[in-house]
Structure 1
Amino acid sequence: MKNKIPHLVRLSSLFLAAGCLFAASAHADEGGLSFWLPGQIGTFAAVRNDPGWSWTFSGYHAYANSETRKQNKNGRVRDSALSTPSDTLFITPAYTFATPVAGAQAAFSLTGLYGRTDVYDNESTTTARGRTRSASSDDSRSGIGDLYPMATLKWKLGSHNYLAYASIGVPTGDYDVNRAANLGLNHWSYDAGGGYTYLNESSGTEFSAVLGLTVNQKNPDTDYRNGADAHLDVSLSQFLNEDFHIGLVGYAYHQLSNDSAPGIGNKNLKSQVAALGPQAGYFFKVGKNKWYANLKAYDEFDAKNRTAGWNAWLSLFVPI
């Protein structure tokens, strides 16, 4: 397998596109929508691609929910339940330059998305005498999301690969201030960070980690501004042969500063979540090129001020 893996993984760096489709949650981040979609960074995050054009297509399914119960001193109990299934297709054309920039390989990509998001909300109040009143609502929406341009620089030093990136969220997606289900954020966002990939050519062992920071502008229709957040995406995998690898993936998302909006006051709305899960990747030849498919899934835990559940990605990398 020595000297064969690099030839394959030059084609395999999955898109570093900033996603946004977290269906509505009434906790932190307005409408539950954060600019960075945890888990979007793939295996070989800092490994160079072949120069030229490529496409990445990623199908994403997520289901998240939350249940809360509050009881006051008079014995009245309030229960609330929120579930947010969603399905999204991300499409990312990218161009990798042949001429080095500061000793690094430079690339530019633009991600767009089409998806469907659903929001189901149910609340009930039970008095001390056992009388219950309940109300529910639901909203579903299909459409396009925001656009996410991204620039990357990648350096290679033997088995060690390094990444620097910067991305912007352009508010072009479907948004309605009066609806719970939205696919756009309706505000600008800015994200930057760095990453590292260790790839041992002889053993076929790979480890990747990408750390980034997001800051957000204010939503002009609501005067709501999401707080800044930090996010970490990791991957660990092992090649079983020159084309097939398996491993683990994970992420951690932590909001650093509180949201700000009229009426929030000093209420703490900082959110966090972590996740772990399996992954598998496979290279296969189409014509003269090697395509790459990756399947991964995450089970979330340690959630605070947000819904939590599971999500899965199926991605296809197509070099041209």
Structure 2
Amino acid sequence: MKTTPTTSSAAALAAALLLSAPAFATEGGGGIYPNGAENFLAGAMPPPGWYTLAYGTHYRATELRDKNGKDIAAALGGFRAEVDAIVPRLIWVTPHQVLGGQLAFHAIVPLVEADVRIGPVRQRERGIGDLNLAVALGYHASPSFHHVFALEVNAPTGSYDSKRIANLGRNYWNIEPVMALTYTQPAGINADLKLMLDYNFRNRDTGYRSGRELHADYALGWAFGKGWVAGVGGYFYRQVTDDRVAGATLAGNKGQAYNIGPSIKYQSKDGWFLTAKLERQYSVRNRPDGSAFWVKTVLPF
């Protein structure tokens, strides 16, 4: 870890600002799910077998928006957050069916580097983030329309210290029901929607319980043939219940953000595909405001 300045008192002060600043809905202004991670083919479960996916992202924010959308970074002495991650995802689509859907499981272990500066304090952390496990059922209504229902559990495995401003984990458990829809065809409209609701448990180190979060990743594009699709992608995010600390409600600090940017996909005849997109946040409230670049690829075993 790199910390500037090196005094623990300065870092503790910055951490206190991070947790108490009105521009941070949910604890520290973030969430367990990396909004915008999904792209085309989010709801299309492949045939039975083992699959490896890999996500890569770079996120940068230099603004903090309060409940009115005003940037308050200058009032804190400046702000910058940069997050780089490589996120391997292992999927097992079983040969079994449950309730008419194909049964599948996945595990995600993110590798994260976070670099955060608030005022004079800068911290950088690198390591494993929070573990994600899921059980899912996949359906194929037609050759073009597919959908998935899943239940994901996020475990607090990432490095965390309440006195740090840069943490790799959230330090609380999370349950996230998911519904993902995909409409895909070799030529014409392609569309995807992944809808999620986060139920967050209490951070035992701080007594903080982040509110429930409703969010959706989306992609909309046009297939030109030969495996190519181009369009737009992003996410919608809205916090739907208030945060609580030691049983007391923190009213008026719910977060929101919308995100959009260009997106592209290439799918080969051999079954692998690659997506990439650049996203910019808009209408941000009570959260950091920035932009992200995402890539995703899948390779069958």
Please give the TM-score of this superposition, normalised by the length of structure 2.
0.85
Q: Does residue 33 in structure 1 map to residue 30 in structure 2?
A: yes
Secondary structure in structure 2 of the residue aligned to 1:260: strand
The Cα shift of 1:267 comes to 3.8
Residues 167 and 266 from structure 1, CA distance in 2 versus in 1: closer, same or farther, beyond 3 angstroms?
A: closer
For 2:291, give the aligned amino acid.
W
Q: List runs of 5+ in structure 1 lacking aligned partners.
A: 1-23, 70-77, 123-135
Percentage identity across aligned positions?
A: 28
For 2:101, give the aligned amino acid.
A
Of 291, 295, 301, which aligns to 1:310? 291
1:165 is aligned to 150
Residues 200 and 244 from structure 1, CA distance in 2 versus in 1: closer, same or farther, beyond 3 angstroms?
A: closer
Number of equivalent positions = 272
Distance 1:197 1:284 in 2: 18
Distance 2:206 2:255 in 1: 20
Distance 2:25 2:248 in 1: 11
User: Based on CA coordinates, which of the two structures has the bigger radius of gyration?
Assistant: 1
Distance 1:143 1:68 in 2: 28
Q: Does residue 79 in structure 1 map to residue 69 in structure 2?
A: no
Residues 42 and 143 from structure 1, CA distance in 2 versus in 1: closer, same or farther, beyond 3 angstroms?
A: same
Distance 1:204 1:265 in 2: 48
For 2:177, give the aligned amino acid.
A
Of 31, 38, 54, which aligns to 2:51? 54
Runs of 4+ more than 6 Å apart? none
Of 169, 179, 183, which aligns to 1:184? 169
Q: List runs of 5+ in structure 2 lacking aligned partners.
A: 1-17, 67-73
1:73 is aligned to none
Q: Is the 8 Å Cα contact of residues 61 and 311 (structure 1) preserved in structure 2?
A: yes
Distance 1:119 1:263 in 2: 29
Of 266, 291, 294, which aligns to 2:275? 294
Distance 2:64 2:131 in 1: 32
Residues 315 and 110 from structure 1, CA distance in 2 versus in 1: closer, same or farther, beyond 3 angstroms?
A: same
Secondary structure in structure 2 of the residue aligned to 1:310: strand
The Cα shift of 1:262 comes to 4.2
1:209-242 C-alpha deviation (Å, 9 max, x unpaired): 1211111110111101000010011111222222
Distance 1:46 1:223 in 2: 36
Residues 308 and 264 from structure 1, CA distance in 2 versus in 1: closer, same or farther, beyond 3 angstroms?
A: farther
Secondary structure in structure 2 of the residue aligned to 1:47: coil
Distance 2:289 2:276 in 1: 20
Distance 2:109 2:157 in 1: 10
Of 89, 96, 99, which aligns to 1:99? 96
1:242 is aligned to 226
Q: Is the 8 Å Cα contact of residues 277 and 299 (structure 1) preserved in structure 2?
A: yes
1:69-106 C-alpha deviation (Å, 9 max, x unpaired): 9xxxxxxxx82332111101101111111222221122
For 1:168, give the aligned amino acid.
V
